[in-house]
A and B are shown apart, each in its own frame.
Chain A
């Protein structure tokens, strides 16, 4: 019994280490948005949804018209490719949403280059989460919270099982 429990604990520990030690997210939010702001001398920081579909970050989520245009003009996950891509868009007067206003002009004017509608980029992105989500996702904290909640549930189950005469009979 002890050996089984010890084995289980070892396996479980490995699981937790795997989860908490996993490579972190791309964090494109803070890197690229800030660079676009400084490169174009904007008075606001562009939201994630300018490039990422539904504002969800990650390399496979660059699926907005403006995001496609940036990729097509050399943008990669390497931050040094951002400025040349913006320059190329400016030089080519690229208009990703086809509304007649070039993307760079739209960004400077605080309108969304992904839609012909007059949508402000600085009026706020949606917030995800029941509380205000931190800009930098924290896998370690999340894993601890997850562990604490599940531990409590399992503890209650054990206590209930000890008290119940039919526990374990199925």
Chain B
């Protein structure tokens, strides 16, 4: 009987609506930091109890007299004090049109993650386990079973300082679900699957927050030559409750770059901005200087930038416009700047459920004779967050 109940509860955990993660535009509600709602002090992933309660009310649209909220796990299960649960299911229908080639279509299961966390005394921990459509993810445990993050930490000074070790989101730049932005691709610091193993120290105080991580390499990639080691960190200052300005820095070295195939001393240094001049408008920006020190070749320098406006005229309905520049394949001679424009609509139309449509026009600079390659992409996403 216990087994059946357990199976049922697991499945309910995987399906029961719960709030979401990694929405940087929550700064419009005065949340300059992330630790208020997330177990990860730098944001994204598993929510704490306060985060679940807060997000249930502030993310979705409200229609007149709302029905009473659904009790967690339909009222048949209540987490013990020390246990946090959550998850995320995201599927995308992607249409891609490369100049001169026919339209292609693919259904991508981007995320089907179950998240667990434990908070007892000063100890903190979080872990995720899930599935992906694509194989060969840097977060793969085996096949398309992925564990993006898992860490154990200890807090000090009234929970304002956390030391943790494990597989951790690389602390650099603005955390968002748009992991294909140039600033995320080129810094290899996204919340999708580029987490690294290491030890990190996070701290927050009046008007500032930051995290510094010693990167020991991704031990879910082998052989060792492909593991990059170094540091990453950010420091963010909030002069007012709706504004935050950050500096970010990252230096890593690997004996064989996964993409470029040679030893690489990789650097990224930049600034980031989050601002909510009005509750209906959030501006996000990031600019990163990138340097690739490739073995046997001159150092390559580049720039990745991103500016995004998120308009929320009605609670739960977001119009998102993004412009960005960058270089997808650094280190090649004669390559110029690539750019892209995003336009999208995201609607949190029900509690714990949102849909999103994006149109992206990209212009990739590649070496001659191919030259500039225009690409149009249409993305439909459905997201159930737990």
Give me the interface of A with B, judged by CB distance under 8 Å: 1, 4-5, 7-9, 11-16, 19, 22-27, 29, 48-49, 52-61, 63-65, 68-69, 71-72, 74-77, 92, 94-99, 112, 114-117, 119, 124, 126-131, 133-134, 136-139, 141-143, 145-147, 149-155, 157-161, 164, 167-168, 170
Contact = CB atoms under 8 A, between A and B. Distances in A.
B96 A60 contact: yes
B11 A8 contact: yes
A108 B119 CA distance: 56
B101 A74 contact: yes
A53 B332 CA distance: 15
Interface stretch (B60-68, B289-297, B311-319): B289-297
B135 A133 contact: yes
Given A115-B331, A119-B262, A128-B140, A57 B10 contact: no
Contacts of B259: 49, 53-54, 64, 114
Given A4-B76, A49-B258, A142 B143 contact: yes
B136 A170 contact: no
For the complex of A and B, 5 pairs with smallest distance between CB atoms: A12-B11, A119-B261, A137-B144, A142-B145, A155-B6
Contact of A16 (B11, B75, B141): B11
Given A76-B101, A167-B80, A65 B367 contact: yes
B101 A13 contact: no
B14 A15 contact: yes
B278 interface: no
Interface string B131-158: 1011111101111110000000000000
B366 interface: yes
B15 interface: yes
A49 B143 CA distance: 17
Contacts, number: 260
Given A8-B12, A61-B134, A170-B81, 20 more contacts: A1-B76, A4-B75, A11-B11, A12-B12, A29-B136, A53-B259, A57-B134, A58-B106, A64-B329, A68-B373, A95-B369, A117-B260, A119-B262, A128-B140, A129-B141, A142-B131, A146-B130, A147-B7, A150-B129, A152-B6
Contacts of B8: 5, 8-9, 12
Contact of A146 (B76, B100, B145): B145
A159 B2 contact: yes
B142 A59 contact: no
24 contacts: A48-B136, A57-B134, A57-B136, A58-B108, A58-B134, A60-B377, A68-B364, A68-B366, A69-B370, A77-B104, A94-B370, A95-B369, A96-B366, A98-B332, A98-B367, A114-B332, A116-B297, A128-B138, A129-B141, A134-B142, A142-B145, A150-B129, A153-B116, A164-B80
Contacts of B101: 71-72, 74-76
Contact of A59 (B74, B106, B260): B106
Interface residues on B, range: 35 or more
Interface in B292-329: 294-297, 328-329
Contact of B333 (A14, A116, A158): A116
Given A150-B114, A150-B129, A137 B7 contact: no
A147 B10 contact: yes
A94 B371 CA distance: 11
A94 B222 CA distance: 32
Contact of A134 (B14, B143, B185, B260): B143
B99 interface: yes
B160 interface: no
Contact of A117 (B76, B104, B296): B296
Nearest to B222: A127
Contacts of A147: 7, 10
A124 B174 CA distance: 34
B374 to A, nearest CB: 10
B109 interface: yes
Given A8-B12, A126-B226, A154-B6, A26 B141 contact: no
A8 B112 contact: no
